[in-house]
Amino acid sequence: MLKAAVVGVGAIGQNHARVWRGVSGVDFVGVVDSDPTAATRVGTYNNVPAFTSLEALLEKVKPDVVSVCVPTSLHYETGLKLLDANIHVLMEKPIASSLEQGEALVAKAKDKGIVLAVGHIERFNPAVMELRRRLREGMAGRIYKVLAQRLSPYPPRIRDAGVVIDLASHDIDLMRYLVSEPITRLVGETLQGINSDREDMFDGLLRFQGGALGVLDVNWMTPTKVRRLTVTGARGLFECNLLSQELFFYENESAPSQWDALSVLRGVTEGNVLGIRIQRHEPLAAEINDFVGAVRDGRAPTVTGEDGLETLRIALAFVQSGKDGTPVHYGQPVAPR
Ligand SMILES: NC(=O)c1ccc[n+]([C@@H]2O[C@H](COP(=O)([O-])OP(=O)(O)OC[C@H]3O[C@@H](n4cnc5c(N)ncnc54)[C@H](O)[C@@H]3O)[C@@H](O)[C@H]2O)c1
């Protein structure tokens, strides 16, 4: 039986602990938090031993798999210690604070043949899973644009990452997952220093190799929580509410009726609106089960270390673009359409 533990049991880590407790075929063996009150509270709640250091966990209950849920600036050192001890790691997003750190983690996991998954949780949102399935079937036809809105009130506990790295990384990963093409150029605008000493407000624009656009509107300056994703295609518009796990399709009546007949689009008119039935589940439980499956079956997890690294690369490029006021190009720029 696999032995599992959680390191860092704050806002998200306590949810990892709750989920791990119920994973079948897994023995949940302990939690770690440098704050003894948090460690004891979550340990007691889940009926597992609580430790105040990673070293104590490794010494007393050597786990096989660990969720790393410490603040982002500690992902690297925590992850490296675990990988060095041959322990499979589910790293909360983002993979690390810098590309060098992320690359070192990916290289270490590869070298040791250990699973390193990254917690880009929206891939496990059932509405996203259904959206991706339908996009792949061609229901929207050619994808022209993906728009992501992620607006929140300010979280004072996040002190080591700005809104691009902390929040927009979810949407960058989602766009990469849905479009499945390299990003060839991007430009970002940020407002900094309003609530934190990093970016608080972010608007970004990117282009995929095949020509599709990605638009990101992300901030923690909004007194309500919005998580909205739309995909505009030749055959219509998907609208996804990531919070309520709802998915709608607004059909373009002017598009040719056969999904595979990607012929010339003659116009856009309002057609039927379809509410798509979603079998709801908890994304975190699906993410953790996917990680366990990867460890057991020796396969890649749905979000690999390389995925986490690429998403961080794009996020850092957006931050730099916002600072410099210049676009970033990767390789050959695509011809404008
Ligand atoms: N996937 C998601 O949707 C999601 C949501 C929230 C946070 N996160 C990520 O999870 C991470 C944690 O975020 P959070 O919001 O839970 O933060 P948090 O501050 O609420 O929790 C972090 C916990 O780690 C503990 N900690 C700090 N240093 C430690 C150390 N050296 N060893 C052990 N424990 C230590 C803290 O005491 C705290 O309890 C961040 O990287 C964040 O980006 C992901």
Using the mean position of ligand 1's atoms as its centre, give its distance from the Cα of residue 65 in Å: 17
Question: Is the pLDDT assigned to residue 335 strictly greater than 50?
Answer: no
Which numbered atom of ligand 1 lies nearest the CA of 70? 24
Q: Is residue 262 scored above 60 in pLDDT?
A: no
Q: How far is the CA of 277 from the centre of ligand 1 (A)?
A: 34
CA of 7 to the centre of ligand 1 (A): 9
What pLDDT shows up at residue 157? Answer: 77
pLDDT higher than 50, residue 336: no
- Mind listing the pLDDT tens digit for each residue in 231-251? 999 999 999 999 999 999 999
Q: What is the spatial order of strands in the sheet that 88-92 belongs to?
A: 50-51, 26-32, 2-7, 65-68, 88-92, 116-119
User: Among residues 331, 327, 69, which one has the least CA distance to residue 186?
Assistant: 327
283, pLDDT greater than 80: yes
- pLDDT band at 186; cut points 50, 70, 90: very high
| pLDDT tens for each residue of 219-230 | 999 999 999 999
Mean pLDDT of all residues in the chain?
94
In the predicted model, is pLDDT for residue 332 greater than 60? Answer: no
Ligand 1 atom nearest 32 alpha carbon:
33
* CA 175 to ligand 1 centroid distance, Å: 25
- Report the pLDDT averaged over residues 179-200: 91
Mean pLDDT for the stretch of residues 314-324: 95
- Distance between CA atoms of residues 181 and 331, nearest Å: 14
Assess whether the C-beta atom of 178 lies below 6 angstroms from ligand 1: no
- Minimum CA distance residue for ligand 1 atom 29: 34
Per-residue pLDDT, 337: 41
Residue nearest to atom 6 of ligand 1 (CA): 12
| Ligand 1: nearest atom to the Cα of 121 | 1
Residue minimizing CA distance to atom 5 of ligand 1: 12
pLDDT score of 333:
47
Residue with the larger pLDDT of the pair 102 and 335: 102
Q: Which of 70, 81, 121, 174 has the most ligand 1 atoms within 8 A of CB, as the residue to mutate?
A: 70
Residue nearest to atom 39 of ligand 1 (CA): 10
How many Å apart are CA 180 and CA 201, to the nearest integer? 26
- Statement: residue 329 has pLDDT above 90: yes
How much is the average pLDDT of 16-42? 97
For the sheet containing 226-233, what is the strand order?
Answer: 270-276, 246-252, 236-241, 226-233, 143-151, 213-219, 199-208, 183-192, 328-329
Task: Estimate the share of the chain in helix, then strand, then coil, as percent rounded to the nearest 5.
Answer: 35, 30, 35
Question: In the predicted model, what is the mean pLDDT of residues 165-191?
Answer: 96
Ligand 1 centre and the CA of 241: distance in Å?
A: 25
Decide if pLDDT at 334 tops 70. Answer: no
119 lines ligand 1 (CB under 6 A): yes
